[in-house]
Amino acid sequence: MTLGFEILGTDGAARRGRVTLAHGTVETPAFMPVGTAATVKAMRPESVAETGAEILLGNTYHLMLRPTAERIAELGGLHTFMNWPKPILTDSGGFQVMSLAGRRKIDADGVTFRSHIDGSEHRLTPARSIEIQDLLDADITMAFDECTPHPAEHGTAAESMRLSMRWAKLSRSAFRDRPGYGLFGIVQGSVYDDLRRESVTALTDIGFDGYAIGGLAVGEGQAEMFRVLDVTAPLLPDDRPRYLMGVGKPGDLVGAVQRGVDMFDCVLPSRSGRTGQALTRRGAVNIRNARHMADPRPLDPDCACPACTGYSRAYLHHLSKADEILGPMLLTWHNLHYYQELMAGLRAAIAGQTLDDFAASFAEQQAAGDMPPL
Amino acid sequence: MTLGFEILGTDGAARRGRVTLAHGTVETPAFMPVGTAATVKAMRPESVAETGAEILLGNTYHLMLRPTAERIAELGGLHTFMNWPKPILTDSGGFQVMSLAGRRKIDADGVTFRSHIDGSEHRLTPARSIEIQDLLDADITMAFDECTPHPAEHGTAAESMRLSMRWAKLSRSAFRDRPGYGLFGIVQGSVYDDLRRESVTALTDIGFDGYAIGGLAVGEGQAEMFRVLDVTAPLLPDDRPRYLMGVGKPGDLVGAVQRGVDMFDCVLPSRSGRTGQALTRRGAVNIRNARHMADPRPLDPDCACPACTGYSRAYLHHLSKADEILGPMLLTWHNLHYYQELMAGLRAAIAGQTLDDFAASFAEQQAAGDMPPL
């Protein structure tokens, strides 16, 4: 075990923890903003840190193509390259490569694919994915897996999961253990309880520093996702962090934390920020809507982020209509701030053993919806 | 006289001054970043202030169309709307309306034009331009003028200038004097010395709080611009600020300050920042050039801006190639920082009566050019 994980408290299945990594500590449950191409879009890294984020996610697929992992390694690794001195988790490239429909070919040893940038041919295998993540200097490396499409028949899901388990073993062999760095295995098995169980057993037999739950938030809906978590999370080792990949909406985070998940990543807050969509404690607000045109009130009067303390809805609406870069800058900041505030609330609620109350009050506020027009 | 102007020192024709306005003081010579649509593109206003800027320029044309001056007034004025509590100068809309080729019609009383946003018809007159700038709550209002095209025959330039002088008188009548607010007249006359003289006389007869020099940096070249300044600047009242509109490149600023100009605005630093062009003490650097691809050095090792202290050229190159929003954010910040640093250097040089040395050393560094590749 090469990364530290302490559980500081529990409330039901939920855990209040701390992951200790080469580049710092991460209080869990934690949300990781996505920094795809070595930048959280529209944010300076100092601003990302100001929102409370302690760890970012970087994408192997994007970085291996441009500027390449070797270039980043020459320049001192991803932390130095992107001016983010805190921990970084990198994905394995598996998920993104699988989604290159018509541009990739899977075989037993890996995936051959064509770049979306210039059409050039590349190959990812478990060993190469781990090597790239090592070159990037990721604090947490993800095993290379195949993300099973949704929906999938039981037979297809089983075959896909077993391929991922073979690759998980190869990923583990390729990973270079060192203090403060860790490798996470990824549980697959689609919506099938027996496959999820088989996958957990395969991974715990190999032994990883943490366990991710993959193949969710791919269209199965929140209820089904929670059901899979109810089956899967209790099977995972208590003493290792659990990471639900690619999730999610604020309500997904609350429900998954209640089911024992410690870590999350999702493009939703940053991507929404670039399309005029704000995520607030009162639900989603589309700032492009004409109802905000003359509204002098802040997006969320209870939010302390720069977008809410410095500007009216009318101004944010104006920026959005005028396609001004400051629009995405401010809305992304707000969304990431809100996500980090939500995670801080969840951590405090677990510590105080008031998580059920927190979740009920969260759901009530979300359901009440945005403030009525003036 | 409703705005304060003190001259704190001189060096040759150059002046070290201070303008006192309703929303604060401005040390001159000063450079005003352009905040066209109520935002300096790709910058938070706090960041603009961090570069050292003490006054921004806002555009009447853009703001009257969207979100409208009346909307901004309802929301507390432009300072509140865009979260910039310091002074603002607004242009009159004249320059932008004139450049709407095929979409505008000039008559003796004003200009009728079609919006570039939705084709709707609008009209600007001297009285309406002043009213809009009043609604915006501009600390400095500009007289409504016609910007003479370049090149222009003497007859055309004379006619255009005389129209602007009639409009200047109407602008003065429409302007509401109040403490901390001022109205600037604009000298026109193209490259003709007699017309520039006639224009200065017309304006000083009316009496303004400051005097702008318009119709330059429109293709006449730096030598011709300096020649017109040599003729025009000495004719202007010593005790009022002088503003050279739409200028310019770093070398233009140095030469114009040596000729007695106090204020400048230009989109160059912000626009260049959005196209991968950095302006540095060693001249312009195109960060998209492949020579920067693996360069671990900062853009300018002597610059204290966030782009230069936090990132390598390789990273800035990567952002630019990947069309990441952080690229324009960092390069705009650098360019505005460099401009403000240049102005601070000019102010210190005038105060220390070492302006000629400063200008010589500036020219030498610019001529030496960018660092050679590693």
Sign of CA dihedral A294, A299, A300, A306: negative
Sign of CA dihedral A101, A61, A3, A251: negative
Query: In chain B, what's the furthest Cα-to-Cα distance?
Result: 61
pLDDT given for residue B186 in this prediction: 98
Q: Is the pLDDT of residue A99 over 90?
A: no
Sign of CA dihedral A205, A207, A210, A216: negative
Instruction: Compute the mean pLDDT over every residue in chain A, rounded to the nearest whole number.
Output: 97
A264 pLDDT band, cuts 50/70/90, is very high
| A:B CB pairs within 8 Å | 101
Is the Cβ of A115 closer than 8 Å to some Cβ of chain B?
A: no
Catalytic-role residue among A91, A137, A209, A295 = A91
Contact A84, A48 (CB under 8 A): yes
Q: Is the pLDDT of residue B101 over 90?
A: no
Closest-CA distance of chain B to residue A176, Å: 27
Q: What tokens appear for A181 in the block?
A: 């760095």
Residues of A with Cβ-Cβ distance to B39 under 8 angstroms: 319, 324, 326
- Domain-by-domain residue ranges, chain B? 4-266, 273-368
- Burial of B149 by CB count in 10 Å (0-12 exposed, 13-18 middle, 19+ buried)? middle
Closest-CA distance of chain A to residue B170, Å: 32
Using one digit for the tens of pLDDT, what is the confidence trace for A59-71?
A: 999 999 999 999 9
Task: Reply yes or no on whether A91 is catalytic.
Answer: yes
Q: Is the pLDDT of residue A1 over 80?
A: no
Would you call A66 and B322 a contact, using CB atoms and an 8 Å cutoff?
Answer: yes
Instruction: State what percent of residues in chain A have pLDDT above 90.
Output: 97
Would you call A325 and B324 a contact, using CB atoms and an 8 Å cutoff?
Answer: no
A45 pLDDT band, cuts 50/70/90, is very high
pLDDT given for residue B99 in this prediction: 87
**Nearest to residue A43, comparing CAs of A330, A257, A287?**
A330
Provide long-range contacts, Cβ within 8 A and 24+ apart, for B267-270: B267/B34, B267/B36, B268/B335, B269/B33, B269/B332, B269/B335, B269/B336, B269/B338, B269/B339, B270/B33, B270/B34, B270/B40, B270/B41, B270/B42, B270/B43, B270/B332, B270/B335, B270/B336
Would you call A41 and B325 a contact, using CB atoms and an 8 Å cutoff?
Answer: yes
Residues of B with Cβ-Cβ distance to A71 under 8 angstroms: 293-294, 314
Q: Is the peptide bond before A328 cis (omega within 30 degrees of 0)?
A: no
Using one digit for the tens of pLDDT, what is the confidence trace for A280-335?
A: 999 999 999 999 999 999 999 999 999 999 999 999 999 999 999 999 999 999 99
| DSSP code for B244 | E
Mean of the pLDDT values across residues B362-368?
Answer: 96
- Percent of chain B as helix, strand, coil, to the nearest 5: 45, 20, 40
b/e sequence A295-312, b meaning 16+ C-beta within 10 Å: beebbbeebebbbbebbb
Q: Which of B59, B66, B315 to mutate to test the interface with A (most CBs of A within 10 A)?
A: B315
Is the Cβ of B113 closer than 8 Å to some Cβ of chain A?
A: no
b/e sequence B20-38, b meaning 16+ C-beta within 10 Å: bbbbeebbbbbbbbbbbbb
Residues of A with Cβ-Cβ distance to B293 under 8 angstroms: 67, 71
Dist. CA B348–CA B340, nearest whole Å: 12
Residues 306-345, chain B, touching A (beta carbon < 8 A): 306, 310-312, 314-315, 317-319, 321-322, 324-326, 328-330
Task: Reply yes or no on whether A265 is catalytic.
Answer: yes
Nearest CB neighbour to A71, from listed B39, B74, B294: B294
The type of residue at B28 is T
Would you call A315 and B75 a contact, using CB atoms and an 8 Å cutoff?
Answer: yes
Closest-CA distance of chain B to residue A131, Å: 20
Mean of the pLDDT values across residues B284-304?
Answer: 98
Would you call B83 and A321 a contact, using CB atoms and an 8 Å cutoff?
Answer: no
Would you call B312 and A75 a contact, using CB atoms and an 8 Å cutoff?
Answer: yes
A374 pLDDT band, cuts 50/70/90, is confident
Nearest CB neighbour to B325, from listed A71, A312, A328: A328
Return the SS3 of B101.
coil
Is the Cβ of A25 closer than 8 Å to some Cβ of chain B?
A: no
b/e sequence B236-264, b meaning 16+ C-beta within 10 Å: beeebbbbbbbbbbbbbbbbbbbbbbbbb
Q: Which of B39, B63, B270, B292 to mutate to test the interface with A (most CBs of A within 10 A)?
A: B39
Determine if residue B77 is left, alpha or beta; phi over 0 gives left, psi from -120 to 50 gives alpha, anything else beta. left
- The residue in chain B having the minimum alpha-carbon distance to the alpha carbon of residue A328 is B325
Dist. CA A187–CA A202, nearest whole Å: 9
Cβ count near A281 (within 10 Å): 17
Would you call A75 and B330 a contact, using CB atoms and an 8 Å cutoff?
Answer: no
A360 pLDDT band, cuts 50/70/90, is very high
Return the SS3 of B125.
coil
Cβ count near A70 (within 10 Å): 13
Residues of B with Cβ-Cβ distance to A50 under 8 angstroms: none
Would you call B74 and A330 a contact, using CB atoms and an 8 Å cutoff?
Answer: no
Q: Is the peptide bond before A248 cis (omega within 30 degrees of 0)?
A: yes
Cα torsion B84, B85, B87, B93 to 10°: value is 40
pLDDT given for residue A134 in this prediction: 98
Using one digit for the tens of pLDDT, what is the confidence trace for B149-199?
A: 999 999 999 999 999 999 999 999 999 999 999 999 999 999 999 999 999
Using one digit for the tens of pLDDT, what is the confidence trace for B255-271?
A: 999 999 999 999 999 99
Is the Cβ of B76 closer than 8 Å to some Cβ of chain A?
A: yes
Catalytic-role residue among B145, B209, B265, B295 = B265
Closest-CA distance of chain A to residue B90, Å: 18
ipTM value, please give it. Answer: 0.98
Would you call A325 and B330 a contact, using CB atoms and an 8 Å cutoff?
Answer: no
Using one digit for the tens of pLDDT, what is the confidence trace for B204-227?
A: 999 999 999 999 999 999 999 999
Residues of A with Cβ-Cβ distance to B315 under 8 angstroms: 38, 75, 81-83
Q: Which of B329, B332, B374 to mutate to test the interface with A (most CBs of A within 10 A)?
A: B329
Dist. CA B274–CA A349, nearest whole Å: 44
Length of chain B in terms of residues written: 374
Q: Which of A271, A326, A374 to mutate to test the interface with B (most CBs of B within 10 A)?
A: A326
Q: Is the pLDDT of residue B289 over 60?
A: yes
Closest-CA distance of chain B to residue A272, Å: 15
pLDDT given for residue A2 in this prediction: 83
Is the Cβ of A73 closer than 8 Å to some Cβ of chain B?
A: no
Q: Alpha carbon of A66 to those of A74, A114, A157, B315: distances in Å?
A: 14, 13, 32, 11
Q: Is the pLDDT of residue A131 over 90?
A: yes
CA A284 to chain centre: 19
Reduce the secondary structure of chain A to three states and give it as a string.
CCCEEEEEEEECCEEEEEEEECCEEEEECEEECECCCCCCCCCCHHHHHHCCCCCEEECHHHHHHCCCHHHHHHCCCHHHHHCCCCCEEECCCHHHHHCCCCCEEEECCEEEEECCCCCCEEEECHHHHHHHHHHHCCCEEECCCCCCCCCCCHHHHHHHHHHHHHHHHHHHHHCCCCCCCEEEEEECCCCCHHHHHHHHHHHHHHCCCEEEECCCCCCCCHHHHHHHHHHHHHHCCCCCCEEECCCCCHHHHHHHHHCCCCEEECCHHHHHHCCCEEEECCEEEECCCHHHCCCCCCCCCCCCCHHHHHCCHHHHHHHHHCCCCHHHHHHHHHHHHHHHHHHHHHHHHHHCCCHHHHHHHHHHHHHHCCCCCC
Residues of A with Cβ-Cβ distance to B325 under 8 angstroms: 41-42, 325, 328-329
A278 pLDDT band, cuts 50/70/90, is very high
Instruction: Compute the mean pLDDT over every residue in chain B, rounded to the nearest whole number.
Output: 97
Residues of B with Cβ-Cβ distance to A37 under 8 angstroms: 318, 322, 324
Residues of B with Cβ-Cβ distance to A287 under 8 angstroms: none
Residues of B with Cβ-Cβ distance to A78 under 8 angstroms: none
**Nearest to residue A103, comparing CAs of A135, A68, A61, A138?**
A61
Residues of B with Cβ-Cβ distance to A43 under 8 angstroms: 326
Contact B89, B147 (CB under 8 A): no
Would you call A44 and B329 a contact, using CB atoms and an 8 Å cutoff?
Answer: yes
Q: Is the pLDDT of residue B1 over 70?
A: no
Q: Which CATH number is associated with domain A4-266?
A: 3.20.20.105
**Nearest to residue A359, comparing CAs of A286, A230, A259?**
A259
Return the SS3 of B280.
strand
